[in-house]
Amino acid sequence: MLKHYNIDGQDFSIAGEASSDFKRRLKKLGISPDVIRRVAIAMYEAEINTIIHGGGGECDAEVSNDKITVTFTDHGPGIKDIDLAMQEGYSTATEQIRELGFGAGMGLPNIKNYTDDMEIETEVGKGTVVRLIVKL
C-alpha cells in the first residue's frame, strides 16, 4: 500500500490528519496494534514538525512485506544542528507554537524512540527529508 499526503503548513486545525488517516488504514490491514501505535506517534511528530518548521510539505507512506516506511519532505529552512535538534527538550519553536502545547523538544527524540530506523537529510535554506521505518 502506498499513500501520498499533502501537508498544509498554514492550517493547524487539521494537523495530524495524514497520521490519523494512515493509522486507520493500517488497522484495516490488520497490522499489530503495537506497530500501529509506534507508527502513529512517530508519524504525528514528523507531521507536526513539517507544519511548524517546514511550512508544510509532503508525506509518502508505504507498507511493504517487512516494514512500514514514511517519508516527510519539506522545503523549509532546514536543520542547522541535527545533534542539538535530537536532544530532548531542545526546540526552536516560537512562543505562539508553545502556547498550543508544542515545542517541548520531544519531536525528533520521540520519532527515534518509536521507530526501528530514522534518517534525516537536511540542508540549510533548502529543506528537510525525514524518513522513519518501523519493521513488521
Partner 1 sequence: MKVSEYIKLGGYELLTKSDYGDREIDGCYTGDLLSWVMGRAEEDNVWITVMSNINIVAVASLSGAACIVLAEGVSPDEGVIKKADAQDIIVLRSDKTAYELCADYFKFTNNDKL
Binding site for partner 1 (CB under 8 A): 12-13, 15-17, 19-20, 23, 33, 37, 40-41, 43-45, 48, 100-102, 104-107, 109-110, 113-114
**Shortest separation between residue 101's beta carbon and partner 1, angstroms:** 4
Q: Which is nearer to partner 1, 31 or 75 (CB)?
A: 31
Dihedral sign for Cα atoms in the order 67, 68, 72, 73 = positive
d(CA 87, CA 59): 24
DSSP, res 30? T
21 or 123: whose CB is closer to partner 1?
Answer: 21
- The C-alpha atoms of residue 55 and residue 40 are separated, in whole angstroms, by 21
Q: Which three cell numbers stand for residue 109?
A: 527524540
- Identity of the residue, 5 or 44, whose beta carbon is nearer to partner 1 in the bound complex: 44
Q: Name the nearest CA neighbour of 109 among 15, 34, 46, 23.
A: 46
Neighbouring CB atoms inside 10 A of 5's CB total 20
| Angle ∠(47,127,116) on CA atoms, nearest 5 | 50
CB of 15: closest distance to partner 1 in angstroms? 6
The least distance separating partner 1 from the CB of residue 125, rounded to whole angstroms, comes to 26
Min. distance of Cβ 44 from partner 1 in angstroms? 5
Nearer to partner 1, 51 or 63 (CB): 51
> Is the Cβ of residue 33 or residue 125 nearer to partner 1 in the bound state?
33
| Residue located via cell numbers 508553545 | 98
Q: Nearest distance from residue 46's CB to partner 1, in Å?
A: 11
